[in-house]
């Protein structure tokens, strides 16, 4: 009987070690993958971006095309520039944009009447744009470097 308990104890010890080793491996892989993704700096976003999107504005579906965002200046995690767009039947408009990049890589950009929240994914800024008030809008946005 003692022999059986000894064998069970050995197998449980081996199993426990296997789970412990697997757990440590998961922690190492997770830590490595998290640390390998770099948080961009404002300087990394400088340049001209093409902005497209789709969502709802004033209760109606809307698609944004042919919009341009230009990041002209950057310092540390902050940046500024402008965006240009033309609504159907209207003159082109230009708004100032200001933005910051959080320590976690989240990007916040505000313009004259709304805000974009997103991340840099595979070289593209992807996220959502929102406005409240007269031009209430919620739009999924992608900015692609020109």
Q: How many CA atoms lie within 13 A of 49 on its CB side?
A: 23
32 and 46 housed in the same domain: no
- Give the DSSP letter of residue 132: -
Other C-beta atoms within 10 Å of 36: how many?
7
Total length of the chain: 146
- Is the same domain home to 28 and 72? no
Residues 129 and 76 in one domain: yes
Query: Are 32 and 55 in the same domain?
Result: no
Single pTM value for the model: 0.73
**Same domain (yes/no): 62, 7:** no
Instruction: Write the pLDDT tens digit of every residue in 118-129.
Output: 999 999 999 999
**68 and 12 within one domain:** no
Q: Which two tokens stand for residue 48?
A: 């001209």
Domain that holds residue 81: 42-145
**What's the number of domains the chain is made of?**
2
Q: What tens digit of pLDDT does each residue of 13-30 get?
A: 655 555 545 444 444 444
């Amino acid at each position: 009987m003692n022999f059986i308990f000894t064998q069970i104890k050995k197998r449980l010890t081996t199993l426990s070690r296997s789970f412990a080793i697997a757990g440590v491996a998961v922690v190492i892989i997770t830590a490595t993958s998290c640390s390998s993704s770099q948080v961009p700096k404002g300087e990394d976003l400088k340049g001209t971006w093409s902005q497209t999107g789709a969502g709802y504005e004033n209760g109606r579906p809307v698609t944004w095309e042919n919009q341009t965002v230009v990041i002209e200046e950057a310092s540390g995690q902050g940046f500024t520039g402008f965006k240009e767009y033309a609504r159907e039947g209207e003159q082109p408009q230009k708004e100032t944009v200001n933005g910051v990049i959080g320590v976690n890589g989240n990007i916040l950009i505000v313009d004259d009447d709304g805000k974009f929240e997103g991340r840099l994914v595979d070289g593209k800024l992807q996220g959502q744009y929102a406005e409240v008030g007269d031009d209430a809008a919620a739009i999924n946005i992608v900015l692609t470097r020109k």
